[in-house]
């Protein structure tokens, strides 16, 4: 949480800067004033059904205009946010395998495959407890592994014509974890912790790590909830200083 908090504050400040530079603030303020005016109409004309209906319709239109004016800054923020969230998920989203805990390792082919099953070789401290099991029409092959002691190593999948590697971590603490190694450049945006798999029949390789939470103020929540909560609070507190309306 100590590193997530300042990052959340910076994210809130960055969002304010982007809104200030890329949005039509005058139009947003007009739409906001219209929304407030229509809310007052609802209170003033409580005994006039026709006027209440018109006020509700106008309130909906002004709200939609206001949201539409926010689309440009939201779209600009979306690109770096996707990249940032993918990196933060690698660090905060999962925990290493606990000592004595089991996990499922899955290798997925691009298409159904009836060829030989690769041999899974694990580093010292990781035991392979089950034989390979084919599922999903042969497209997936899974094994069960168990962490015996702290490990930072590599799982090796040996084929007759070569081998593929996938990192594995076991122990305690918060570390940068690669849940899935992928072959697609598009999937690499979501799973950036390891380089792409080489061209071939394998689509991705995954180790099912336990999910992790961030503890603060007596609560254990997903990291992205804390990030959005703290960045939103930052934006609300500083919006007057940045002269931003939304």
| Structural domains counted in the chain | 2
Q: 246 lies in a domain? A: no
- My answer on whether 111 and 176 are in the same domain is yes
Q: 86 lies in a domain? A: yes
- My answer on whether 70 and 144 are in the same domain is no
Side-chain half-sphere CA neighbours of 189 within 13 A: 7
- My answer on whether 116 and 179 are in the same domain is yes
pLDDT tens, N- to C-terminus, the chain (246 residues):
557 889 999 999 999 999 999 999 999 899 888 888 888 888 888 777 888 888 889 889 988 998 899 999 999 999 899 999 999 999 999 999 999 999 999 999 987 665 678 999 999 999 999 999 998 777 899 999 999 999 999 999 999 989 999 999 999 888 999 999 999 999 999 999 999 999 888 999 999 999 999 988 889 999 999 999 999 999 999 999 988 888
- My answer on whether 79 and 163 are in the same domain is no
Range of the domain at 142: 102-207
- My answer on whether 84 and 141 are in the same domain is no
- My answer on whether 149 and 172 are in the same domain is yes
Q: 136 lies in a domain? A: yes
- My answer on whether 73 and 113 are in the same domain is no
CA distance 24 to 19: 9
């Amino acid at each position: 949480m100590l590193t997530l908090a300042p990052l959340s504050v910076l994210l809130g400040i960055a969002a304010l800067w982007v809104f200030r530079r890329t949005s039509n603030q005058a139009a947003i303020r007009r739409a906001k004033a219209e929304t407030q005016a229509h809310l007052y109409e609802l209170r003033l004309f409580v005994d006039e059904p026709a006027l209440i209906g018109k006020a509700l319709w106008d309130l909906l239109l002004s709200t939609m205009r206001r949201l539409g004016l926010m689309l440009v800054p939201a779209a600009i923020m979306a690109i770096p946010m996707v990249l940032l969230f993918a990196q933060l998920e690698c660090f905060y989203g999962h925990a290493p395998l606990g000592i004595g805990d089991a996990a499922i390792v899955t290798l997925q082919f691009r298409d159904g495959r009836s060829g030989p099953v690769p041999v899974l070789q694990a580093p010292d401290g990781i035991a392979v407890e089950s034989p390979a099991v084919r599922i999903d029409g042969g497209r997936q092959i899974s094994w069960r592994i168990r962490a015996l002691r702290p490990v930072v190593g590599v799982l090796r999948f040996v084929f007759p014509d070569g081998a593929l590697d996938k990192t594995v971590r076991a122990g305690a603490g918060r570390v940068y974890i690669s849940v899935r190694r992928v072959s697609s450049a598009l999937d690499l945006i979501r799973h950036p912790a390891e380089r792409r798999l080489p061209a071939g029949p394998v689509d991705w390789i995954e180790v099912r790590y336990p999910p992790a939470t961030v503890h603060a103020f007596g609560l254990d929540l997903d990291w992205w909830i804390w990030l959005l909560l703290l960045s939103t609070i930052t934006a609300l507190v500083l919006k007057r200083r940045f002269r931003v309306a939304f």
